[in-house]
Amino acid sequence: MAQTRDRFALIENLSSIGGEPSRDLRETLDLIVATVAAGLETEVCSLYLFDPKRERLVLRATVGLEGDSVGKVSMRVDEGLVGMVIETGEPQAVEDAISHPRYKYFPETGEERYHTFLGVPVQNGRERPIGVLVVQTRRRRKFTAGEIRLLKAAANQVAQVLSHYRLRETLATKEKERDEYRRRMIEATRQLKDYEKVGGKTRVAAPVRMRRPRLVGLPASPGFAHGVAHVVGTFLSTIDRTRRARDPKSELKRFDEALARSLAELAALKARMAPLMPEDDLRIFDGHRLILADEEFIGRVRQQIEQGYAAESALFRVIDELSASMLNVADAYLRERANDFRDVGHRVLRHLRQEGGKALSRRTILVADELTLSQLTLVSHENMVGIALQSGGVTSHAAILARAFEIPTVVGVEHLMESVSEGDDLVLDGNSGVLYINPSVEVEREYDSLHRRYETFKRELMAAHGESTSTRDGYPVQILANVALLADLNLALRYGAEGVGLLRSEFSFLTYEDFPDEDQQLKLYSQMLSAAGGRPVTIRTLDIGADKYPPYLRVPREENPFLGWRSIRISLEMSGLFKVQLRAILRAAAHHHVKILFPMISSLEELRRARELLGEAQSELYKEGLEHNPQVEVGIMVEVPSAVWLAPRLAREVDFFSIGTNDLIQYLLAADRNNPKVAHLYESLHPAVLSAIADVINVGRAAGKEVCLCGEMASDPLCTLLLVGMGLTQLSLSPLFIPVVRKLVRDSDYQTARLIAHDTLEMASSQEIKGYLIERYRDLGLIQMVEMYR
């Protein structure tokens, strides 16, 4: 019945659009495709019309594809899936369009993001089709027979609207028939309105509903998740602080039970995280436990309950008062602790709302504006199956840690917090960046099937992961991992990493109460290096600043922190602390294969000063008789445009380069990688980015220096053959992507990769490059591997 109502609503909306005589044809077609997309819950709806003069199908309206492609994209009837609809005169549904032999890619449309294609002919009666109405989706979706019938009904309405406008155009050219024109216009409008009549009664066309059953963000960690929403960070603000309870004793009992369950949950989480996090990082659990055991905190809540407030209201009032007082103090560290109080409040409130031990007892998707490290510890729970964030980018702290825990994650989801409520049923697609809210049974079924296929595919990729990696014609490519915590390293080794190309040392510093001393750092690095089992590990010195500030580091607010005081700039200015880290790394390198990597080098002066401090640390260790490695290799991150053009000079003073594409892309293209408003500008396949990468590789090879690429670009399977063809012999990537990248390298030839790189570097736009790469992967039979991870 609901589907029948939806079908009537869609047809009525189309009738209403077509019956409005004041609109021109272009505006009407735009409204039609928007209405169809909303009615069928698809990301794309496009209308292609046949131009008899050119004998081509031309894109005339779209929602979802690039608007500039309207009127420019055209194809012959014997081309593409759209042409196949005209040729056959029948609907064509393709679940994985990009792999279909008739698929034709138009770079200017940006359609490489969409998988499923459904096209139906637009025709009047038995006449030859005059066009094709198409819908596309990001997810692989099997359209039902009812949905196909609905799109056909919509296409019939489109045909009548087109006939109506063609009639208007014909009559408008006949000045002598003006009266007849007016009469026929009124009649045509009346006939279109008749479609709104059901059972002899006129139905008022309902406006297009602007529901948000589907939200789109950025894919940050691959995989699929189906679970209930647990909204972090908004519980307290939704509580009625004035709600009263009739039985204070009962409320006190509920509060005490919630406290006990919260303490037990913290203890279990700490035990679960202990093998994965440094000992000092685990203090966050102790801090939250102390809050829950604090007599003043508990006493205030109990006092509010005894005064007649419900337990939830009492908790909110106390947490709000305490956190507000902390936020008003000048000390930044105490202001940070206000977040801990609110975190604790959310935990207790969740247990208050879920009596009988139901907290996190079901498969749960964490929903938040952004995540603190304390909140991220929740992902260790066995029932935490996905993460959706309104803020952040694919290279943010939260996204990197989510990948470490193999949690499917979508970030940068606009309208997330206003659209999702606690307990909503969610389906999350970490491969394409889509979140479905209270989806239909069909969507749930399709994603459950897709999840099973994805897990099977991962198991197949894991085969023979212990062997070295090379192309079929013998070109060696070392597959390394980017890691931040011990959990990342354990995951990377399980997926077959041959070493660590980037150890982000700053992540282990973020939860210390003060800057860790030399012995603490030595213990931390030794633990990581021992786990690596003799494999090479490249440790990047502290890259704090921008979006990663430890709470104990007092820094002034900056208008543009990504261009401000961060990374090597902080290290060189705080040289005493920098030497502590260098000493710890040198000592850890005495018994392990270690390289040192300086981040964000933009000049020779910075590099020379960093090396000077390294020399001082070596001299001090030698004088103190402490065992260390004085011959450790030193490299720099090439992630600032100036370093690209200084590469020939920098190569003379380093042992290796590591290209950090995350920052390099945002600096080259002036696009903040964590800002969803400019996410479309942050493009790894931009010609300028590829040219810069190629230049650095060529400089390194000419100087006989190793070059590794360690940004998130290395994790994109569509870039794998291109990067190998450029001459890279080391790729350092997120652990989850190691199996697919390794398989792509082994299933290809270096000579083919070189041709791909040569052709790509000649191209002038990222859209052209994407289209070319998709076609080449399809020709090589590798496209399904790429699509499974995009």
Rounded to whole angstroms, how far apart are CA atoms 371 and 240? 24
Rounded to whole angstroms, how far apart are CA atoms 544 and 51? 58
Rounded to whole angstroms, how far apart are CA atoms 492 and 734? 8
First and final C-alpha spacing in the chain: 36
Instruction: Report the SS3 class of residue 54.
Output: coil
Contact 225, 299 (CB under 8 A): no
Q: Which residue has the tokens 């001082």?
A: 616
Instruction: Report the SS3 class of residue 220.
Output: strand
Give kind and range of the element (H or E) at residue 12. helix 2-18
DSSP label of 19: T
Q: Secondary structure of 547-587 in the HEC alphabet?
A: CECCCCCCCCCCCCHHHCCCCHHHHHHCHHHHHHHHHHHHH
Rounded to whole angstroms, how far apart are CA atoms 673 and 315? 38
Beta strands in 20-55 (DSSP E): 44-51
Q: How many CB atoms lie within 10 A of CB 194?
A: 11
Q: Which residues of 54-81 are buried (b: 16+ CB within 10 A; e: fewer)?
A: eebbbbbbbbbbbeebbeebbbebeebb
Which residues are identified as catalytic? 397, 710
Instruction: Report the SS3 class of residue 377.
Output: helix
Rounded to whole angstroms, how far apart are CA atoms 158 and 28? 10
Question: Two tokens at 240?
Answer: 């009625």
CA 540 to chain CA mean position, Å = 24
Q: What is the CA radius of gyration of the chain?
A: 30
Among 74, 69, 67, 120, smallest CA distance to 94 is for 120
Among 593, 613, 617, 595, smallest CA distance to 605 is for 613
Q: How many CB atoms lie within 10 A of CB 670?
A: 9
Quote the crossing angle between the two packed helices 332-353 and 311-327, to the nearest 10°: 170
Quote the crossing angle between the two packed helices 2-18 and 25-40, to the nearest 10°: 170
Rounded to whole angstroms, how far apart are CA atoms 527 and 361? 34
Taking the CA of residue 232 as centre, how many other CA atoms within 13 Å lie in the half-sphere pointing to its CB? Answer: 27
- Torsional sign, CA 662, 663, 667, 668: negative
Q: Which residue has the tokens 């699929």?
A: 224
Q: How far is CA 360 from CA 233, 378, 486, in A?
A: 16, 10, 25
In order, the DSSP letters of 524-551 are: HHHHHHHHHTT--EEEEPP--BTTB--T
Question: Two tokens at 605?
Answer: 């002066």
Q: How far is CA 113 from CA 61, 83, 790, in A?
A: 18, 21, 8
How many helices and strands (H and E) does the chain possess? 28, 24
Question: What region does 496 belong to: left with phi over 0, alpha with psi -120 to 50, or beta?
Answer: left
**Residue 582: Cβ-neighbour burial (10 angstroms; 0-12, 13-18, 19+):** buried
* CB within 8 Å of 527: residues ≥ 6 apart: 278, 486
